[in-house]
Structure 1
């Protein structure tokens, strides 16, 4: 073969892990999933695209990493020990396009990629700063602790819901809204359970007692709702004869309807 021609591997692309990287304390601190993530990034290296390496979950699943949290921890670990570095933070564009994080291998040279605004740089070899496997594990643990304390934007979407009740407010016999046109009239009836099998402890004011219902209606210019009962009682009001108001006695009222 002529020396002027570039050597080409007949078997195609290969993953080259240099001995000084493989034998380093930084590499010794990696977990099996971290090694898989490193090899997956190395698989995408073509000799000219260092800095434009990404590892989405769809590709990581083919390499043995099946969960997004495991993938995120492995990438953080590789960055913590200095074997890789982030060249571009991913996210979502204004048009809704999702962009992954881009990485570079710190023991390789980077070439400029103007289309992605990546500049050329020499190898930085941050992994050489790790003095022992214990030191590498401490760096990984610190990166995990920092990730847990960082604010999560996905959990802070929307407005905070305001409290609708106060735990110290006693239950009243009748509750109403602040804008009711008849503040001293009918409200939403509150009843106490008569079944003693499941007693509940609840705080109520002293005025929690049955009150007779008034004939007038709460809302002006709206006729009240009446319903006929076959009880034979002559509890009339305003000339309606044997009628009862719906809120007067709901239990007895519906018992009478079922008996009919």
Structure 2
């Protein structure tokens, strides 16, 4: 029988971003829209998602992303600094980002992998 556990915090979960990430040169180099996308992608990272997070325009519209070009640029910036990887080589497929292990374990943003 499953037990219903109340979350430790009544407001629900949270997204942890280490100071090392925020203080890094790579974080400062990316645009604020890319920083926002990183936080949204971290929010969607759960124990059930296994690191695979789709960041399609349809899903991101609820969070204020209205232009596919802006979303694409932000995703490419995350790839450039080594924070996201696209498993699909098909440029017409919906973008499914895999947050890299560097994204989830707090390793330095100082240099790409």
Scaled by the length of structure 2, the TM-score of the pair is 0.74
Normalized per residue, the structure richer in helix is 2
For each residue in 1:183-208, what CA deviation from the matched residue of structure 2 results, as whole angstroms up to 9, or x when unmatched? Answer: xxxxxxxxxxxxxxxxxxxxxxxxxx
Call closer, same or farther: CA 1:127–1:84 in 2, change over 3 Å: farther
- Hey, what's the Cα distance between the residues in 1 that align with 2:50 and 2:109? 16
Aligned match of 1:202:
none
Is 1:129 the counterpart of 2:104 in the alignment? no
TM superposition outliers: structure 1 runs of 4+ over 4 Å: none
Is 1:101 the counterpart of 2:100 in the alignment? no
The SS at the match of 1:128 is coil
Output aligned runs, 1:217-256, within 5 Å: none
Output aligned runs, 1:25-104, within 5 Å: 25-86=25-86, 88-89=87-88, 91=90, 99-104=94-99
Q: Which has the larger radius of gyration?
A: 1
RMSD over equivalenced CA pairs, Å: 2.7
Gaps of 5+ in 1: 1-6, 93-97, 110-122, 131-260
Aligned match of 2:19:
19
Q: Confirm or deny: 8 A CA contact 1:51 1:103 kept in the other structure.
A: yes
Gaps of 5+ in 2: 1-6
Greater RCO, 1 or 2 (C-alpha within 8 Å, sep 6+): 2
Scaled by the length of structure 1, the TM-score of the pair is 0.35
